[in-house]
Amino acid sequence: MRLDKFLCDTVNISRKDAKDFIKKGFVSVNGIKVTDSGFNVSEHTDSVLFKDNPVHYEKFVYYMLNKPSGVVSATTDATDVTVIDLLKQEGRNDLFPVGRLDKDTTGLLIITNDGDLSHHLTSPRHHVAKTYLTGIEHPLSPEDIKALETGVELNGDGITKPAQIKVISDLFIELTITEGMYHQVKRMLAAVGNKVISLKRLSMGSVILDESLPEGAYRRLTEAEILSLKD
């Protein structure tokens, strides 16, 4: 990998700035100062220092974010804070959310730069389960639950795949779906004459929201969590 690209990916600077820092002698490889931006480094075996601080290359990174309400699931936005803004201190410019949560929805959101994993988790062909703690306007009747667990008609999108319903209380359920239609949970409840009051994603695939994370906080996924998602 070219040294300037290595620097861009590890310390989150532009290619122009990387070239400038290298030319000025701020970068060394294996103890030797390098001023050639095109110098090839091994991201796995070479020791690179930038301003006398070691920098390490990771091709793919994976984070669990407890998304707060009011933050949009996007990489950039002209008016609102994005989920990527919450991870800016990680110093990476290649992160994106896996799928999306509505602006007013909270809970588990996976942030990564691994496009293959993102595609696997969001592709309709793979039917990855997602569970939501759902606050509702009034209790579900047995008929409502049966309809949701069988499949309900959503205008323009046909009949949903069967959902799983766990009643927590009169006004809270856990709803598990394997699709990702636009506003799906809200539209499903509307289809049985109810209304979503609050929505929090608890899990995606095998990964469960770490309840020790306050809203707006994040942590890296563990190796076990990453492997379970890839499996």
Tokens describing residue 70: 């009011």
CA distance 111 to 76: 14
Tokens describing residue 174: 């856990």
Q: Clarify whether 20 is annotated catalytic.
A: no
CA distance 180 to 191: 16
CA distance 194 to 137: 6
Residue 29 near residue 22 (C-beta atoms within 8 A)? no
CA distance 99 to 86: 16
- Active-site entry in 102, 104, 114, 116: 102
Which amino acids are annotated catalytic?
102
